[in-house]
A and B are shown apart, each in its own frame.
Chain A
Amino acid sequence: MRPARLNLLTAVAAVAALTAVTGCAEKSGSGDGALKVAASDSACEVSKTEFPAGKLTLEVENKGSKVTEVYVLFPDDRIVAERENIGPGTKASITAEIKAGDYEIACKPGMKGDGIRQKVKATGGGAATKRSPELDAAVAEYRKYVQAQADETLPKAQAFADAVKAGDLAAAQKAYATSRIGWERTEPVAESFGDIDPKVDVREDGLEAGQDPAKDWTGWHRLEKALFADKKIGDEEKKLADQLMTDLTDWQKKVGQAEITPTSMANGAKELLDEVASGKVTGEEERYSHTDLVDFKANVEGAQKAYELLKPVAAKNDAALSAELDKQFAAMNTLLDKYRADKNGYDFTAYDTVGQDQRKELSDAVSALGEPLSKLAAAVAK
C-alpha cells in the first residue's frame, strides 16, 4: 500500500528545494527544545533540522489558507506521529518519542498528496530523553524487587527440590505452587533472559518440533506432571529437581542485570495480565496441579508492584487512568480473595473446581484490569 517510489518529477523538485533547506534551518535557533513548524499553503518550514533523540514536540502553526496536516515519517514513509485537521490560523502540537536516525516532516496543505517534505535528523545514542528522577527511582526500586523475588524464591525452590529428592510425594506437592510465586511475580523480566524460561517453565505442548519430552522437557511443569498426574517420583525426577535448582540459581545471578526501563516495567505489568488471560483463566498453566489461582495471584501482585512504583508519574500524567487502575486492582484482589480462606496465605481453591460462570467472572476481571494497564506505558512515557 505504501511503496517507496522516487519518481523523476519529485526528484527534480527535491533538488530545487534542497538549497532552501539550510536557510530555513538557520532561521530558527529557539532553545526551548520544541521544534516549530510553520505550515502554509506552499511551505513547511521547520525551526531546526537536527535535534536530540528522545521526546520530540512539534509546535505547528498553520499560516496558510487551507486545512493542513503534519506528519513525522520514517524514511520509508511509515508514520511516526501525525496530526490532522489543523485549521488555517490555528496551532497544534504533536509529540513523539523518537530514536536517533533520519526522519521527514511533511505538511499536507489541503490534507492531500504527499505533502511538502523536510528531512530532519534525530541525533544522540538512541536513548530516550533524560528521565525524570522519579522514574529513575521507580526503575531502581523495581530492580530491587525483582532481585528480592529471586533471592526469596531460591530457598522455597530448594525446599521443593529437597522433597522431590527425598521421594516425599505429599511434601513435594505441597511445596510446588509456593516455589513458583517469586518467578510468577516477575516473569517478564525472567523471560528477558531467553534461555532460562524454556528450561524452568515450559509446558509439554510448548516444546518445539523435534524436541523429545523425555530428554528436552525440564522444569517445574515436568515435575508437576510427575507429582500430580503420575503421582510418582523416580530417579529421573530427582535429577530434574537438581537441574531446576541449577537453572534458578542462574536466574538469580542474572536478574540484577536485566535491562529495565519505565515503559518496559509498565508493559511488563500488562504482560503479567496477559499471562493470566491466556494461560491461567483457561486452566492450561497448571493442568495437573490445578494451582492456577496461585500463579494468577502472583502475576497480579507483580503487576501491581510495577504499577505502584510508576504511579506517582502515571497519576500526574493521567489521573483518570491511575484512578481506574486503583479501582480495577482492588476489584481483582477482592475477587481473588473469594478463592482463599486465609487472606495472607496462598492456599487457593483448586482451579478444576472453579465453574464456568466463575471463570467467566475472573476472565472479565482480567480484561477490566488488563485494558487500562495496557495504557500505563503511554502514561509513563508522556
Chain B
Amino acid sequence: MSDDTSTTGSAAEAAEPADSAAASSAASASVSGGPSRRSVLGWGGAGLALGAAAAGGTVAALSGDGDPVPAALSGSSVPFHGEHQAGIASAVQDRLHFAAFDVKTKDRAELVQLLKDWTRAAERMTAGLPVGEGAVGGLPEAPPDDTGEALGLKPSRLTLTVGFGASLFAKDRFGLEGRRPEALVDLEQFPGDNLDPAKSGGDLCVQACADDPQVAVHAIRQLARIGFGKVAVRWSQLGFGKTSSTTPDEQTPRNMMGFKDGTRNIAGTDRAALDKFVWVGDEAKDGSAWMAGGSYLVARRIRMHIETWDRTPLQEQEDIFGRDKGEGAPVGKSKERDEPFLKAMKPQAHVRLAHPDTNSGATILRRGYSFTDGSDGLGRLDAGLFFLAYQRDVRKGFVPIQRNLSKNDGLNEYIQHVSSALFAIPPGVRDKDDWWGRALFA
C-alpha cells in the first residue's frame, strides 16, 4: 500500500457526495459517514487517511508533506508473495504472536485444503483486509467470517510465516515420511534444558509479526478459527520488543536484561550472507527439492531469572555479556559496532561463545522477541526471550552454537530454556495460485 495518497484521497472523498449526488437522478438525503475499512482498503492509500483521522486527524503529518515516513508509522503492508516467505529477512516488526498447531485430521486432502485456505486468508490479512466476507454486513443471524478486531487498523507490516514440524512427517500420517529433510532433525537435549512438552514441538507453526499487537493476534485467531476441526492450537507465545533486527542502520534493541543483543545479526539486504546462512539451496546442495528457497526455524522460550539478574553487579553483568551496558561496545572497544576482540572477553562471555569465530563460522539469523507473561505465582516476573532463529541447516547453525553455549555460557545461571521447537519453513508463496507447502504435497 502506498503512503502518499491519503491527502488527495481524502480530499476527493470529501468532494464526492456533492458531485455524485448532484449528478444523480436517484439520490435522496445523503448521510455523511466514514467509509468502511473494506471499501477504504479497496482503493489503496485511503486506509491511511482513515487510520490517521482515528489517531487524531493528522493526515497531513503522515504523508502530505512528502517527508519519508518510518515503516512502522506508515502502517504499510509487506508483500506476501515472493521467492521466500516474508517474516524472515524482511525488517523485523515490533510485535509477535507465534502459534504451534497439532494437526487433528488424518486426511491428507483436508490438510492440503487447510493450507490453501490459510494461504488465501493470509493474502488478505497481510494486505489489511478482513478474511472471507468480512466482519460486518453479512447475515444478522450468523457469526461473521472475520472476528473484526482489526477493523480500522492498518496492515501494520503484518507478515505470516508458516513452518512444518518433524511430527508431520511421521510414518502412517500423511505419506510424507520419505520427504522429511535430513536437516529437520530431532533437537538433542542440551544441558540445562527444562522443556515443557506441552509447550514444545507442533506439526505446524505460524509466526505472525506486526507493528500492532492486535493485528498479529487477530491474524493467528482467524487462522485458528479457519483450522478448527483440522488443526488445534498446541501452544502459543506473544512477544514484544524485538531483540534483534535485520536492519543494521536501526538502533539495536535491548533485551529484558537491559543489554543490546543481536548487533551482528544478518542484514535483510545482505543477499550473499542470506544465501550462505539462511536460505536452503537446491536439492544438489541441501538434499531436499521442496525446501529450496526455504529455511529452518528454531523457536525456544528462554525464561530469564530476572530478579537474580537485577541483583548482579554491573561489572559482572557486562563480563557475562562481553559488552558494556550503556553503549553496547564489545570489551575493550568504544562503539557498539566495533569489531569484537574475543580474547579480551572472559572465557564464559556470551558474545565470545556465540560468535561465529568460536563456532567454526556458524551463523544464524535471529528474530527473537522479549516476552512477559505476568508473574509466575511466586511473584517472580515470568519473562525472558522468545528466541527465533532462521538458518539454512540447524546442524551447522543453532545446534553447534547452542552446544557451546549450554555448556559454557555465563548467562546460564540466569536463564533456562523451557520450550523448544524446530520447523522446516517452506519457500515463499509465488502467486495467487500458489499455496504454503505446495511443493511438499506435490
CA A251 to CA B138, docked complex, whole Å? 35
A311 within 8 A of B: no
Q: Which of B9, B16, B22, B142 gathers most chain A CB within 10 Å?
A: B142
A281 within 8 A of B: no
Q: In the bound complex, how far is the Cα of B362 from the Cα of A67, in angstroms?
A: 54
CB of A117 within 8 Å of the partner chain? yes
Q: Which A266-311 residues sit within 8 Å CB-CB of chain B? A: 266-267
Contact with B along A64-93 (1 / 0, CB 8 A): 000001000001111111101100000000
Residues on B with beta carbons closer than 8 Å to the beta carbon of A360:
232
Chain A's interface: helix, strand, loop or mixed, by majority? mixed
Q: Is the CB of B141 within 8 A of A377?
A: yes
Contacting pair B31 A77 (CB below 8 A): yes
Interface contact A117-B21, CB-CB below 8 Å: yes
Given contact pairs A6-B32, A44-B26, A369 touches B39 in the complex (Cβ within 8 A)? no
Expressed in whole angstroms, the Cα–Cα distance for A6 and B29 within the complex equals 8
Q: Are B27 and A44 in contact (CB under 8 A)?
A: yes
Residues of B within 8 A of A85 (CB): 42
Question: Are B31 and A75 in contact (CB-based, < 8 A)?
Answer: yes
Binds B, one of A14-22, A139-147, A151-159, A224-232: A14-22
- A108-116, A172-180, A181-189, A212-220: which one contacts chain B? A108-116
Decide if A359 is an interface residue (CB 8 Å cutoff). Answer: no
By beta carbon, the residue of chain B nearest A82 is B137
A45 within 8 A of B: yes
Across the two chains, which residue of chain B brings its CB closest to A374?
Answer: B143
Q: Is the CB of B25 within 8 A of A20?
A: yes
A81: chain B residues within 8 A (beta carbon): 137-138
Flag if A16 contacts B141 (CB, 8 Å): no
CA–CA, A11 and B17, complex, Å: 10
With a cutoff of 8 Å between Cβ atoms, the chain B residues found around residue A80 in the complex are 137
Alpha-carbon distance between A4 and B33 when the two chains are bound, in angstroms: 6
Smallest CB–CB gap between B113 and chain A, Å? 10
From A14, A367, A368, contact of B27 by CB (8 A): A14
A79 with B26: CB separation less than 8 A: no
Q: Tell me if B54 counts as interface (CB < 8 A to partner A).
A: yes
Assess whether A24 is interfacial by the CB under 8 Å rule: yes
Contact between B32 and A114, CB atoms less than 8 A apart: yes
Partner of A45, one of B26, B32, B140, B228: B26
Residues of A within 8 A of B16 (CB): 110, 112-114
Using known A-B contacts A263-B141, A368-B104, A371-B229, determine if residue A113 contacts B26 with beta carbons closer than 8 Å.
Answer: no
**Complex: A217 Cα to B170 Cα, angstroms:** 53
Digitize A355-377: 1 where CB-to-B-CB distance is under 8 Å, 0 elsewhere. Answer: 00000100010011111101101
Q: Tell me if A13 and B27 are in contact (CB < 8 A).
A: yes
- Is residue A252 contacting chain B, with contact meaning CB distance below 8 A? no
Asked whether B31 lies within 8 Å of A5 as measured between CB atoms, the reply is yes
Nearest CB of B to A107, in Å:
9
Is B396 engaged at the interface, CB distance under 8 Å to the other chain? Answer: no
CA distance A11 to B32 in the complex (A): 10
**CB nearest to A42 among chain B residues:** B23
Whether the Cβ atoms of B42 and A111 lie closer than 8 Å is yes
Contact A20 B26 (CB under 8 A): yes
B residues 129-176 near A (Cβ < 8 Å) are: 136-143, 152
Q: Answer whether residue A119 sits at the interface, using C-beta atoms and an 8 A cutoff.
A: yes
- For the complex, give the distance between the alpha carbons of A80 and B139 in Å: 8
Q: A104 contacts B28, CB within 8 Å? A: yes
* A364 proximity list for chain B (CB < 8 A): 104, 232
Tell me the bound Cα distance from A180 to B117 in angstroms.
Answer: 41
Count: A-B pairs, CB below 8 Å: 185
A13/B142 contact (C-beta < 8 A), A24-B25, A44-B24 known: no
- Chain A contacts for B441, CB-based, 8 A: none
Knowing A10-B17, A364-B232, A367-B229 touch, does A378 contact B28 (C-beta < 8 A)?
no
- Chain A residues with Cβ under 8 A from B140's Cβ? 97
User: Using Cβ atoms and an 8 Å threshold, which residues of chain B touch A110?
Assistant: 16, 43
Q: Is the CB of B36 within 8 A of A82?
A: yes
**Separation of A324 and B136 alpha carbons in the complex (Å):** 25
A240 sits at the interface (CB 8 A)? no
Beta-carbon contact of A324 and B20 below 8 Å: no
| Contacts A42-B24, A364-B232; A119 near B29 (Cβ below 8 A) | yes
Q: In whole angstroms, how far apart are the Cα atoms of A223 and B17 in the complex? A: 65
User: What's the least CB distance linking A380 to chain B, in Å?
Assistant: 8
B124 at the interface (CB under 8 A from A): no
With a cutoff of 8 Å between Cβ atoms, the chain A residues found around residue B141 in the complex are 97, 263, 266-267, 377-378, 381
A7 CA to B30 CA, complexed, in Å = 9
The answer to whether A10 and B39 have CB atoms under 8 Å apart is: no
Q: Is the CB of A14 within 8 A of B229?
A: no
* Candidates B25, B30, B38, B225; contact of A84 at CB < 8 Å: B38
Among the listed A45, A69, A77, A116, which residue makes an inter-chain contact with B20, where contact means beta carbons less than 8 Å apart?
A: A116
Indicate if B46 sits at the interface (CB-CB under 8 A). Answer: yes
Q: Counting CB contacts under 8 A, is A43 at the interface? A: yes
B138 contact set on A, CB distance < 8 A: 81, 378
Is B26 within 8 A of A13, CB to CB?
no
Q: How far is the CA of A117 from the CA of B104 in the complex (A)?
A: 49
- B64 proximal to A (CB < 8 A): no
Q: Closest chain B residue to A81 by CB distance?
A: B137
CA distance A55 to B14 in the complex (A): 34
Give A14's nearest chain B residue, CB to CB: B29
C-alpha gap A23/B19 in the complex (Å): 21
Instruction: Compute how far the CA of A118 lies from the CA of B17 in the bound complex, rounded to whole angstroms.
Output: 13
Q: Does A9 interact with chain B (Cβ within 8 Å)?
A: yes
In the assembled complex, B357 has its CB within 8 A of some CB on chain A: no
* Chain A nearest Cβ from B234, distance in angstroms: 9
Q: Compute how far the CA of A76 lies from the CA of B31 in the bound complex, rounded to whole angstroms.
A: 8
In contact, B27 and A2 (Cβ under 8 angstroms): no
A17 to B142, Cβ gap below 8 A?
Answer: no
Specify which chain A residues have a CB less than 8 angstroms from the CB of B9 in the assembled complex: 112
Known: A5-B32, A7-B32. A113 touches B228 (CB 8 A): no
What are 25 of the A-B contact pairs (CB < 8 Å)? A5-B31, A5-B33, A9-B18, A14-B21, A17-B21, A20-B24, A20-B27, A42-B25, A44-B27, A76-B31, A79-B136, A80-B137, A82-B137, A97-B141, A112-B39, A114-B33, A116-B21, A116-B26, A117-B30, A119-B28, A367-B228, A368-B104, A368-B230, A371-B229, A377-B141
Interface residues of A (CB under 8 A from B): 1-7, 9-11, 13-14, 16-18, 20-21, 23-24, 42-46, 69, 75-82, 84-85, 96-97, 104, 108-119, 263, 266-267, 324, 328, 360, 364, 367-372, 374-375, 377-378, 381
